[in-house]
Amino acid sequence: MAVTSSSSTCDGFFIISLIVVVSSLFGASSAQLNATFYSGTCPNASAIVRSTIQQALQSDARIGGSLIRLHFHDCFVNGCDGSLLLDDTSSIQSEKNAPANANSTRGFNVVDSIKTALENACPGIVSCSDILALASEASVSLAGGPSWTVLLGRRDGLTANLSGANSSLPSPFEGLNNITSKFVAVGLNTTDVVSLSGAHTFGRGQCVTFNNRLFNFNGTGNPDPTLNSTLLSSLQQLCPQNGSNTGITNLDLSTPDAFDNNYFTNLQSNNGLLQSDQELFSNTGSATVPIVNSFASNQTLFFEAFVQSMIKMGNISPLTGSSGEIRQDCKVVNGQSSATEAGDIQLQSDGPVSVADM
- Among the listed residues 50, 62, 71, 73, the single catalytic one is 73
pLDDT in the model for residue 337: 77
The residue type at 72: F
Q: Is 153 left (phi over 0), alpha (psi -120 to 50) or beta?
A: left
Question: Looking at residue 348, what is its pLDDT?
Answer: 31
pLDDT of 100-150, one tens digit each? 998 789 999 999 999 999 999 999 999 999 999 999 999 999 999 999 999
The answer to whether 255 is a known ligand-binding residue is: yes
Name the residue type at position 278. Q
Q: Is 272 exposed, middle or buried (0-12, 13-18, 19+ CB in 10 A)?
A: buried
pTM for the whole structure: 0.87
CA atoms within 13 A on the CB side of 293: 6
Residue 32 pLDDT: 85
Spatial separation of the C-alpha atoms in residues 328 and 48, rounded to whole Å: 17
Is 156 annotated in a binding site? The answer is no
Tell me if 77 is assigned to a ligand binding site: yes
Q: What is the pLDDT of residue 245?
A: 86
Q: Is 73 among the residues known to form the active site? A: yes
Q: Looking at the DSSP assignment, which residues form a beta bridge with residue 249?
A: 205
Report CA torsion sign: 211, 207, 203, 307: positive
- Round to whole Å and give the CA distance between 341 and 182: 34
Report the run of H or E that residue 6 belongs to, with start and end.
strand 2-10
Q: Is 200 annotated as a binding residue?
A: yes
Main-chain phi, psi angles of 127, to 5 degrees: -75, 160
Long-range pairs of 232-240 with CB within 8 A, sequence gap ≥ 24:
235/207, 235/210, 238/207, 239/207, 239/210, 239/211, 239/214
How high is the pLDDT of residue 355? 45
At 244 the pLDDT is 86
pLDDT the model gives residue 228: 98
What are 227-249's pLDDT values in tens digits? Answer: 999 999 999 999 999 888 889 99
The backbone region for 304, taken as left when phi is positive above 0, alpha when psi lies in -120 to 50, beta otherwise, is: alpha
CATH fold label, 34-169+316-333: Peroxidase; domain 1 (1.10.520)
Select from 3.40.50.2300, 1.20.1090.10, 1.10.420.10, 1.20.140.10 the CATH code of 188-311.
Answer: 1.10.420.10
Helix (H) or strand (E) holding 178: helix 176-185
Compute CA 243 distance to the chain's CA centroid, rounded to the nearest angstrom.
28
pLDDT for residue 299: 98
28, amino acid identity: A
Residue stretches of the chain with pLDDT short of 70: 1-31, 338-358
**Mapping DSSP to helix (H, G, I), strand (E, B) and coil, where does residue 5 land?**
strand
Contact by Cβ (8 Å): 156, 133: no
Task: Compute the C-alpha angle 151/47/356, nearest 5°.
Answer: 70
Amino acid 103: pLDDT:
77
Q: Of the candidates 269, 267, 268, 237, which has an alpha carbon nearest to the alpha carbon of residue 251?
A: 267
pLDDT of residue 356: 54
What are the residue boundaries of the structural domains of the chain, listed by start? 34-169+316-333, 188-311
Q: Is 357 annotated as a binding residue?
A: no
